[in-house]
Amino acid sequence: MGKISLVVNGKKITADDGKTILDICLANGINIPALCSHPMIRPPENCGICAVEVEGLADLVKSCAKPAENGMSIRTESVRAVAARVEALEKMLETHPNDCLGCVKTGGNCKLQEVSYLYGVNPAERKDMKRGSDDSSPAMRRDMDKCIACGICVSVCGDVQRIGVYELADTGSDRYAATKDGLPLSEAGCIYCGQCVKLCPVGALSEKEEAHAVAQALRDPGKKVVFQMAPAIQNTAGEAFGLSSADVTKKLPTALRKLGGVVFTTDFTADVTIMEEGTEFIGRLKDGGVLPMFTSCCPGWVRFIEIYYPRLLSHLSSCKSPQQMMGALVKSYYAERENIAAKDIFHVSIMPCVAKKYEKQRAEMKGSVDAVITTRELAKLLHWFNIDLSTQEDSGFDPMMGEGTGAARIFAASGGVMEAALRTVVMKLTGGRIDTIDFTAVRDSKGVSEAELDLGGIKVKVAVVNGIGNARKLLDQAAAGHSPYHFVEFMACPGGCVGGGGAPVKGASNTRKQSIYQSDMQNPVRRSHENQEVMKLYADYLGVPCGQKSHHLLHTVYSPNDLTIQGGNE
């Protein structure tokens, strides 16, 4: 049998003559969905799901039946091919029973379910819909028909987070989790932390899916796709792919670059956050500003204070989150340096957090981040584009905004933002006389941790609130004017970002936290103000921390939410 040479998705392949396009692609690790094809039978060419685009041919071809020819150039995930698959799936599902729970093909054996999931196709009409669905939240979706009344969402929201959005509704003939008073989630006081999404055992609660928007941008030749990857992803993604955090950190940039994107790390803007927030805190401390100052990098926490404690908003740092700082810098600093129009950049955040989806849609943030995908969505995206993370070569992040310190890495754990800030604030307040790096007192995983520091005669008391369920007592103190603290870190999710609502369900926050601090110890640079790329950003572009340009790009104003929910001392 002779050999032929062809190109698939830009990759040159040598194969046996006489093989179909589908057979050759599958043999080379390139997945093409096919429902009617099986090695034991001749392809009946019924489903059309395996359609691909061949350069020079006007029509799509069915890869299961089309023999490959020498010199062919094939695209398996072109815009036309994907559109044809979606159309074919939608037609199938018009008459397909929606009884997956009791189907004999349950348990990951149903190809139709797998392909429909990958391409985001659902039946056009749910004739069995009784309870309805709720898409009001910008971050989460509720499908009440899938609820099994297990009560997990009620417990995690009420007992752990102490917000109490949900309750078990019992109509006599039906029982399921509903929002209190039947309000849409966007009006029920939900902060979009996603803990209920992470723990829901079925598909009743899910994050708003954005992987398809990312895939569409990757296929658009007019878009420059830029990725940023949060510190916690380097830990949580390892669990999703069965790799160590060290391997993921080295392999993910390679994988994302293969998709066609530029890859930056949110560690960079975590260091920028410390420069801005640390400077802001020193200014408040010296000039008699509002204290205690509250951190502002967690969007779930920010939404909580805007809804339940708007009276205390003056305590909130004006800094944007690291995600949004990167968004602003990608659409300005990076765009200007690379001579790319901001409108032609599609900026993707990979986050362990469901609330980040909400944050990027806030009016004052809109436009700097175009899509937010969770760890789970990242796994789907790589699978979709036939990228096996375990086989990727090691590489680093792209320069300009690709450097991160140990201080940035620990942002992912509760207490990490505070410790990272102290490493820089203490150095600057004491002129380097106190050279402490490890502030272990704020690493305690209890509900509220605190520490008191003597900074060259200045007594500073700090606190860390681990999980929004522990916030009210401290906020009530501040509202009454009795807070003993100067600086407080708040994280909505227990354990911090490593326990975020978009992280893998399995995996212990404590194990993730240990991995984070280990990577901090191994980093040759452990203070944010020693990040050389950050220093270049200020020297070449921003000027000074909390200066006019950085205020314009990296700071914002947080405002009371329109909701009139009673909570705290309002």
- Kindly list the catalytic residues: 277, 280, 297, 317, 356, 359, 364, 497
Other residues' Cβ atoms within 10 Å of the Cβ of residue 234 = 28
Contact 153, 166 (CB under 8 A): yes
**Burial call 374-393: b when 16+ CB within 10 Å, e when fewer:** bbbbbbbbbebbbbebeebe
Contact 356, 208 (CB under 8 A): no
C-alpha 206/C-alpha 323 separation (Å) is: 21
DSSP E strands in 407-482: the ranges are: 448-455, 458-466
Distance of CA 180 to the CA centre of its chain: 28
Give, as one character, the DSSP assignment of residue 266. H
SS3 state of residue 454 = strand
C-alpha 197/C-alpha 391 separation (Å) is: 31
- The two three-digit tokens of residue 123, written as one number: 């039946």
C-alpha 329/C-alpha 335 separation (Å) is: 8
Helices (H), 94-136: 111-119
C-alpha 497/C-alpha 378 separation (Å) is: 16
Closest CA relative to residue 386, chosen from 13, 2, 1: 13
Q: What are phi and psi of 488, to 5 degrees?
A: -135, 130
Closest CA relative to residue 274, chosen from 424, 103, 433: 424
What angle do helix axes 79-93 and 211-219 make, rounded to 10 degrees? Answer: 140
Contact 32, 22 (CB under 8 A): yes
Helices (H), 321-455: 322-329, 335-338, 355-359, 375-384, 406-409, 416-429
